[in-house]
Structure 1
């Protein structure tokens, strides 16, 4: 038993001594050229640029709702029907009033006005006769052939004829276009037509139609409900441009630019990725969350995309092709003032300062300090002091 223990201890000491002399085993990688991409990742929601709140312009009782939430509708499709019994009766009454007013105007133009004109002419002729009779009676009276009573009768007849002529002229002028009676009749037609138009509008308002092609994303109305102006009954998301609204950490604001592309996937369909483009950056920062609202336009939205669906957004903010690079994990203090890597030369590690260019998601561009093909210690290796011996992991 003691012999076995001594043998095991000896083997352990031998292995430890060998590791001490030859150094620990480390994994390494080779410096090479590759593409480097820097992205900003965020979570957002699918939205249309605007939404239409559907409501009623009048107070009424709902008699029919022929659409359901989530249904696709076209512009002009009936969404809600209200009880229109009273509205129809109001239209019938208004049409009757318009017909009556127009008949009065027509009667004035084609009957009353011609009759008044004839009466004016007759009164004018009577006035001429009365004036002639008065002149004769006055002449005879001056020569003594006529009595004073006859002259007085001729004078009264002249005054009556003059009065009748003036009245006939006033009535004829009143019946003509621009006259008082004509204006009153025409105004009545205009008023009744306006009342009819209002009644027809109220009848039209008893039916609520889709303003645009879109999808109903909310419905809060049922048959029998009494609705009134100001209450939102449905919400319509118009078809057309699809947007993604995503809050971006304000620390990344300097990286985001209009026109940058993004890879997007819905949380419900993580394996289906589609493209989007940054189209808007809110100039204000939300103080509570420390984020900036960014909107992305989806030029070709996939069929599975739905309103208010949660999506993951990966915006590509920088890219360099075929540049000398290493894995980010292989660089010590990559964002500090003195970044460096550990290179392997003749079985020993050496600290090599480097200058970093683009620091991507997984790789760092090496602007200066390394050459292609240089072997460096992987970031997963144990910490090793500068100048210590190491052994390269088999297969590396």
Structure 2
């Protein structure tokens, strides 16, 4: 009985000992220990390329002020009717691409064709009367030469011929007008472009000047912005600016093609228009930011390849007094030359080397 009690009393002790051993193992008590201290400088140099350190120095960098802008179409048109007629067909919808001369809308033309036919028949009748008057004038001239009729009768024949000739000329002009009005029943695209919006449907009555379609040329897009006068006065026509389009995460170069030479009295700003290269993702009305040069500042730039990132922290290795140091730095923007602005952590004259185990 005593032996059984002894065994039961040892079980908790054994469990506690096993638990302590596991905790010590997880804490690394059985791993090899390295005494605290600085790493040997020779060992660091064997893994770091210090043959060509980058000497940090201040350089001048332009500061840009972002100005809200919009993408607009330089070549855009509103398609409207020139006559009052019922719409029979509309061949396009918003988003369709069209070519110059493509038929967009067809209006009812039965009445217009009837007017053309009437004008043509009137011309045919006047041509018959014109031939008769011409023959009468010819006979009257011969009879007058033979002194068989008076000069008054000859003048009457001339007047009749001239009257019929004038009526025929007017009838021909009326035919041309009727044909022109009839042509208004077929509305074609004046430009190559894309349909933006459709404002009517077949069966509607089109009135003169009423909007039917909106078409723009996607190749003629540009960015327009109202720039405050302190910045605008430094801009020049033909100058290249950087434009950001956040919705498609694109940055493009734009060339100023027009600066409206009158300021908005309310905002004291000038309208600046800059053309951009064709991009099929761009559409009129999209938001953009125009980066306008504001001033310059002195900044420290280092090659992006010299920066080491660990999680969300950025480090740079420098050589100082023949020793290597790793410094925490706060970074700014990276420019097109793959040089990054260092906001803090470096000083003018520091020698930056590549990160360890790097061949850069």
* TM norm structure 2: 0.63
CA shift, 1:317, in A, is 6.0
CA shift, 1:68, in A, is 1.0
Aligned pair count reads 259
In structure 1, C-alpha distance between the alignment counterparts of 2:108 and 2:137, rounded to whole Å = 45
Matches within 5 A, 1:169-180: 169-175=151-157, 179-180=158-159
Q: Does 1:112 align with 2:127?
A: no
Q: Secondary structure at the match of 2:160?
A: helix
**Is the contact made by 2:218 and 2:278 (CA closer than 8 Å) also made in structure 1?**
no
Q: Does 1:64 align with 2:89?
A: yes
**Is the contact made by 1:260 and 1:317 (CA closer than 8 Å) also made in structure 2?**
no
Q: Secondary structure at the match of 1:268?
A: helix
Q: Which runs of 5+ in 2 are unaligned?
A: 1-54, 302-334, 352-360
In structure 1, C-alpha distance between the alignment counterparts of 2:289 and 2:255, rounded to whole Å = 14
In structure 2, C-alpha distance between the alignment counterparts of 1:172 and 1:53, rounded to whole Å = 58
**Alignment-derived partner of residue 287 in structure 2:** 310
**Alignment-derived partner of residue 254 in structure 2:** 276
User: Whose Rg is larger?
Assistant: 1
In structure 1, C-alpha distance between the alignment counterparts of 2:219 and 2:56, rounded to whole Å = 48
Q: Secondary structure at the match of 2:282?
A: coil
* TM norm structure 1: 0.58
CA shift, 1:285, in A, is 3.3
In structure 2, C-alpha distance between the alignment counterparts of 1:239 and 1:187, rounded to whole Å = 50
CA shift, 1:308, in A, is 1.6
Q: Secondary structure at the match of 2:237?
A: coil
Q: Secondary structure at the match of 2:120?
A: helix
CA shift, 1:318, in A, is 6.6
In structure 1, C-alpha distance between the alignment counterparts of 2:295 and 2:238, rounded to whole Å = 12
In structure 1, C-alpha distance between the alignment counterparts of 2:159 and 2:214, rounded to whole Å = 53
**Alignment-derived partner of residue 101 in structure 1:** 126
Q: Does 1:47 align with 2:99?
A: no
CA shift, 1:287, in A, is 4.2
**Alignment-derived partner of residue 184 in structure 1:** 163
CA shift, 1:69, in A, is 1.4
In structure 2, C-alpha distance between the alignment counterparts of 1:49 and 1:241, rounded to whole Å = 5
Q: Does 1:242 align with 2:266?
A: no
Matches within 5 A, 1:1-396: 32-34=57-59, 36-109=61-134, 111-122=135-146, 124=147, 165-166=149-150, 169-175=151-157, 179-238=158-217, 240-270=219-249, 272-298=250-276, 300-316=277-293, 325-326=299-300, 372-373=348-349
Q: Which runs of 5+ in 1 are unaligned?
A: 1-29, 126-164, 328-359, 365-370, 376-396
Q: Secondary structure at the match of 1:42?
A: strand
Q: Root-mean-square deviation (CA), in Å?
A: 3.2
CA shift, 1:260, in A, is 2.6
In structure 1, C-alpha distance between the alignment counterparts of 2:284 and 2:99, rounded to whole Å = 17
For the structure 1 residues 305 and 239, does the alpha-carbon distance in structure 2 shift closer, same or farther, using more than 3 Å as the test? closer
**Is the contact made by 2:258 and 2:273 (CA closer than 8 Å) also made in structure 1?**
yes
Q: Secondary structure at the match of 2:211?
A: coil
CA shift, 1:269, in A, is 0.9
